A and B are shown apart, each in its own frame.
Chain A
């Protein structure tokens, strides 16, 4: 199972909105509404930000939103803040009943 494709880096100024893409195939992202997004700060465990494409767990800021179109899922961070600077990973359930993560995106707040 190949990793889902994400841009290596995305940057934005405080207050701006940024979008991170996550491209897979019809066997994973495109075939199921089971895409999640995780935030990971250096040396820390991942934190769930979005599940099932667009649902936010309790306690996650509503500045984070998710969507999907075809084989590509997206995470949008609005009102970018310094604390949002981190690595972000998407994940998707697959037709093999396994899970696959994305390649990861480093978000930089300018």
Chain B
């Protein structure tokens, strides 16, 4: 079965760091482009970052310089390292798989992991 399972969310103080993981099964992470998308409570979707199969990475301005997307091919897992966390980073974080035949369209999503930044 093709699926994504996120983990690593939790309660963290402002200024702290957290690493989210997204374990993939049924397909190879490194062969697809993958993204992180977040959704603050009661709000809309916000794109966070993408990593392409060739390794190129891009970030939303709101997280650039603080977040880093990466993958471990041996573990078939996507990561999001989040540093200097702020209250406005509080959200459910989803990882998603890109469709090979499309540009920046995501067909498989994880269940999401909640990140709460609060003192």
A: which residues have CB within 8 A of B?
A: 1, 3, 32, 34, 36, 38, 40, 45-48, 51-52, 55, 57, 87, 89, 91-93, 96-104
Determine if B104 and A89 form an interchain contact, defined as CB atoms under 8 angstroms apart: no
Determine if A38 and B45 form an interchain contact, defined as CB atoms under 8 angstroms apart: yes
Determine if B44 and A102 form an interchain contact, defined as CB atoms under 8 angstroms apart: yes
Determine if A1 and B60 form an interchain contact, defined as CB atoms under 8 angstroms apart: yes
Give the total number of A-B pairs whose CB atoms are below 8 A apart.
70
Determine if A57 and B45 form an interchain contact, defined as CB atoms under 8 angstroms apart: no
* Cα–Cα distance between A51 and B98 once the two chains are bound (Å): 11
Also in contact, A51 and B105, with CB within 8 A (given A1-B60, A57-B99)? yes
Q: Which residues of B contact A98 (CB under 8 A)?
A: 47, 50, 58-60
Q: Which residues of A contact B47 (CB under 8 A)?
A: 91, 98-101
Q: Which of B14-22, B66-74, B77-85, B107-115 contacts A (4 or more CB under 8 A)?
A: B107-115
CB-defined A-B contacts under 8 Å, sample of 23: A32-B103, A34-B103, A34-B104, A36-B104, A36-B106, A45-B109, A45-B110, A45-B111, A46-B94, A46-B96, A46-B106, A47-B109, A48-B105, A51-B99, A51-B105, A52-B103, A89-B44, A98-B50, A98-B59, A99-B47, A99-B50, A101-B37, A101-B44
B: which residues have CB within 8 A of A?
A: 35, 37, 44-47, 50, 58-61, 94, 96, 99, 102-107, 109-112
Which listed residue, B37, B61, B105, B111, touches A1 by the CB 8 Å rule?
A: B61
Determine if B112 and A101 form an interchain contact, defined as CB atoms under 8 angstroms apart: no
For the complex with contacts A57-B99, A101-B45, A101-B46, 17 further pairs of A-B residues with Cβ separation under 8 Å are A1-B60, A3-B44, A40-B45, A45-B111, A46-B45, A46-B94, A46-B109, A48-B107, A51-B99, A52-B105, A55-B102, A97-B58, A98-B50, A98-B58, A98-B60, A102-B44, A103-B44
Which listed residue, B46, B102, B109, touches A36 by the CB 8 Å rule?
A: B102
Closest-CB distance, A77 to chain B (whole angstroms): 18
